[in-house]
Amino acid sequence: MTVPTDVNYTSQLTKEIIHSLAKEYPFVSVSSIGKSVMGNDIYALKCGYGEKKVFFNAAHHANEWITTPLLLKFMHSYMSAYDDNTYICGIDAKELFMNTTLVCVPLVNPDGVDLVNGALDESSPFYQKAKSISAKYDHIPFPRGWKANIDGVDLNLNYPAGWGNAKKIKKEKGIDSNAPRDYVGTSPLCAPESRALYDLTVASGFCLTLSYHTQGKVIYWKYLDFLPQNSYEIAETLSKASGYAIEVTPSESGFAGYKDWFISHYNLPGYTIEAGEGESPLPKEQFDTIYEANEPLLVSALNLA
């Protein structure tokens, strides 16, 4: 099989690829960790036999969907390297498999990605609701500027880590109800998609997490004054592997994200990777460059854990 990288992704295509991967590589398991607002499954792939559990996720934000094929292509490369008893970025895939267990959720926000990429029928009540939410924000192009879940909740502002601060900051910027982006929701974890990631994380015992977003070619590593052991050193290694810069999250988006919650709840290293550069959604033509920078980063994360 191959993972297509020159098409606009949808939840259906993602599902098909996930199942093809599992069919081709029986050592990979697939599970649904919950359902989106529209009832789409949110899938997790799991492989490896190590005690150390690492978690990669992508596409919390709808118009950052290019991160979904990024993780799917990585999973394919990693699994085929293991299957062929070979190396990935100079590291023995078998060794990585023996030392770590990798859990990967390549598409956190399936409904939002379907909206952005035209897979949602315009007659659907979900599409209509999104369109009417969007009408209040005429500076945000619809649907390509949509980041939220289909209900207009920003999934990466919906975690219990300074959620009240995020709410206040966004309200001051005029966002206090469902919106294409930046609406924190009515309470932490009110969105089924962020709840699914939270529940998976609580049940899993991850020691390191990477959340993929676009754009900026930066690695966000910090939440408030938390300093999990080795968190800066790991960021440095990820930075060296990818050429991406290490930065502190801008304070206006410094709360209620997945990594913020992971760092503060567990005091363990969690990172947001802002892949690529330009305006989201990034053009498909940028995929190869993004992949080239991030395959070594992903391997490093597994190797370091």
Shortest approach of Zn ion to residue 259 CB, angstroms?
11
Q: CB of 45 within 8 A of CB of 28?
A: yes
Q: Of 88 and 148, which has the nearer Cβ to Zn ion?
A: 148
Query: Which run of H or E residues covers position 14?
Result: helix 11-24
Residues 212-241 within binding reach of Zn ion (CB under 5 A): 213
Shortest approach of Zn ion to residue 73 CB, angstroms?
19
Residues forming a β-bridge with 29:
46
Query: Could you give the CA distance from residue 1 to residue 17 in angstroms, rounded to a whole number?
Result: 9
Q: Of 213 and 217, which has the nearer Cβ to Zn ion?
A: 213
- φ and ψ of 170, to 5 deg: -70, -35
Shortest approach of Zn ion to residue 139 CB, angstroms?
18
Residues forming a β-bridge with 54:
102, 208
Shortest approach of Zn ion to residue 32 CB, angstroms?
23
Q: Of 61 and 259, which has the nearer Cβ to Zn ion?
A: 61
DSSP state of 209: E
Shortest approach of Zn ion to residue 114 CB, angstroms?
17
188: cis peptide before it, omega within 30°? no
Residues 123-182 within binding reach of Zn ion (CB under 5 A): none
Residues forming a β-bridge with 270:
209
Residues 178-217 within binding reach of Zn ion (CB under 5 A): 213
User: Interacting stretch for Zn ion, rule CB under 5 A, among 5-13, 62-70, 96-104, 115-123?
Assistant: 62-70
Q: Of 100 and 201, which has the nearer Cβ to Zn ion?
A: 201
DSSP string, 220-282: E---TT---TTHHHHHHHHHHHH-PEEEPPPGGG-SSSHHHHHHHHH-S-EEEEEES-SSSSP
Q: Of 65 and 97, which has the nearer Cβ to Zn ion?
A: 65
- From first CA to last CA, the distance across the chain in angstroms is 29
Residues in the interface with Zn ion (CB under 5 A) total: 3
Catalytic site includes residue 274: yes
Query: Could you give the CA distance from residue 220 to residue 146 in angstroms, rounded to a whole number?
Result: 22
Shortest approach of Zn ion to residue 97 CB, angstroms?
30
DSSP state of 155: G
User: Interacting stretch for Zn ion, rule CB under 5 A, among 61-69, 71-79, 88-96, 197-205?
Assistant: 61-69
Among the listed residues 95, 274, 292, 295, the single catalytic one is 274
Residue among 61, 170, 181, 195 that touches Zn ion (CB under 5 A): 61
Q: CB of 275 within 8 A of CB of 70?
A: yes
Q: Of 78 and 212, which has the nearer Cβ to Zn ion?
A: 212
User: Interacting stretch for Zn ion, rule CB under 5 A, among 21-29, 59-67, 81-89, 159-167?
Assistant: 59-67
Which sequence positions are flagged as catalytic? 274
Residues making contact with Zn ion (CB under 5 A): 61, 64, 213
